[in-house]
Structure 1
Amino acid sequence: MPRYTVHVRGEWLAVPCKDGQLTVGWLGREAVRRYIKNKPDNGGFASVDEVHFLMRRCKGLGLLDNDDPLEVALEDNEFVEVVIEGDVMSPDFIPSQPEGVYLYSKYREPEKYINLDGDSLTTEDLVNLGKGHYKIKLTPTAEKKVQKSRDVIDSIIKEKTGSSSST
């Protein structure tokens, strides 16, 4: 039974296929269905039917025709990408490598800041930072702590390089 690894936004999904006569479009819909099922917020979609997408090979970025049978269009274990209409690709996207691929849906730069002081970061703050709700600012106190740490590291390096040149 052929299997495909399909990238939908930031997730890689393994999609088995029982019938090679199923189409590239079926593979895309099945990958989106699995993506929606496994995301806590359904990936922002109410149903698979509202998702408009294109399919492309990861290696070489070849655009695929949704009507082509899988057995004709793809090799077993091939990596493919679901490109959802309206999504913006990160400049870090490396299509032929599953590790380190980042595709963001309608990314918007956050307008709010969170001040990091080195003492009061909560779990909720950390989750919201991870979701991209905030930009980070260091408080003056935190900046002084960072500089103090940097000075310690610099002095250790200076001691190590000074002692190795004298031996």
Structure 2
Amino acid sequence: MPRYTVHVRGEWLAVPCQDGKLTVGWLGREAVRRYMKNKPDNGGFTSVDEVQFLVHRCKGLGLLDNEDELEVALEDNEFVEVVIEGDVMSPDFIPSQPEGVFLYSKYREPEKYIALDGDSLSTEDLVNLGKGRYKIKLTSIAEKKVQQSREVIDSIIKERTGSFKST
């Protein structure tokens, strides 16, 4: 079974292909689907169908036609790049070395923090955390609760360990 290594926005994805008659467009969509699946905010997309992209070989930068069959257009284990419309090529791009390919994506690490205190997390906060919109920090109250929990666990372990020694 042929497989391809596809670069999407800084991520390398292994994409196996059951049928060489599938197209370059299929490979691009499948790579984008896998990319979205592994991002907390789906990479900023609502569906694979909305993503416009081009596919090209990493070595030599050959642009591929989305309608070409994979068995005709690519070799097994070839490295390809999915370039998403609107993304900008990094100046560090080295076409002949797949490990040197970088794209700047629209995704940005969140700047805002949400403080977890152990009592006031709302459903909306939880959803936004899941979408990667906040970084997390613990309040001093939450840190004390964690420390108290740890002390309880340590005392239980100590108590159980002591009882095993005496038997």
Q: Give the TM-score normalised by structure 2.
A: 0.62
Q: CA deviation at 1:82?
A: 0.4
2:62 and 2:70 map into 1 onto residues whose CA distance is 14
Q: Hey, what does 1:149 align to over in structure 2?
A: none
Instruction: State the AA in 2 paired with 1:7.
Output: H
Aligned residues: percent identity? 90
Q: CA deviation at 1:62?
A: 0.4
Q: CA deviation at 1:100?
A: 4.2
Q: Hey, what does 2:122 align to over in structure 1?
A: none
2:45 and 2:96 map into 1 onto residues whose CA distance is 27
Query: Please, which runs of 5 or more residues in structure 2 have no aligned partner?
Result: 112-167
Q: Hey, what does 2:29 align to over in structure 1?
A: 29
Query: Please, which runs of 5 or more residues in structure 1 have no aligned partner?
Result: 113-167
Q: Hey, what does 1:99 align to over in structure 2?
A: 99
Instruction: State the AA in 2 paired with 1:27.
Output: L
Q: Hey, what does 1:11 align to over in structure 2?
A: 11
Q: Hey, what does 2:57 align to over in structure 1?
A: 57
Q: Hey, what does 1:44 align to over in structure 2?
A: 44
Superposed structure 1 runs of 4+ greater than 4 Å apart: none
Q: Hey, what does 2:141 align to over in structure 1?
A: none
Aligned counterparts, 1:68-107, within 5 A = 68-106=68-106
Deviations 1:122-150 (A, max 9, x none): xxxxxxxxxxxxxxxxxxxxxxxxxxxxx
Instruction: State the AA in 2 paired with 1:23.
Output: T
Q: CA deviation at 1:40?
A: 1.4
Q: CA deviation at 1:91?
A: 0.1
* Equivalent residues of 2:43, 2:107 under 8 A apart: no
Q: CA deviation at 1:102?
A: 2.1
Q: CA deviation at 1:101?
A: 3.0
SS of alignment partner, residue 99 of structure 2: coil
Instruction: State the AA in 2 paired with 1:9.
Output: R
After superposition, the CA RMSD in angstroms is: 2.0
Q: Give the TM-score normalised by structure 1.
A: 0.62
1:79 and 1:71 map into 2 onto residues whose CA distance is 14
1:97 and 1:13 map into 2 onto residues whose CA distance is 16
Number of aligned positions between the proteins: 110
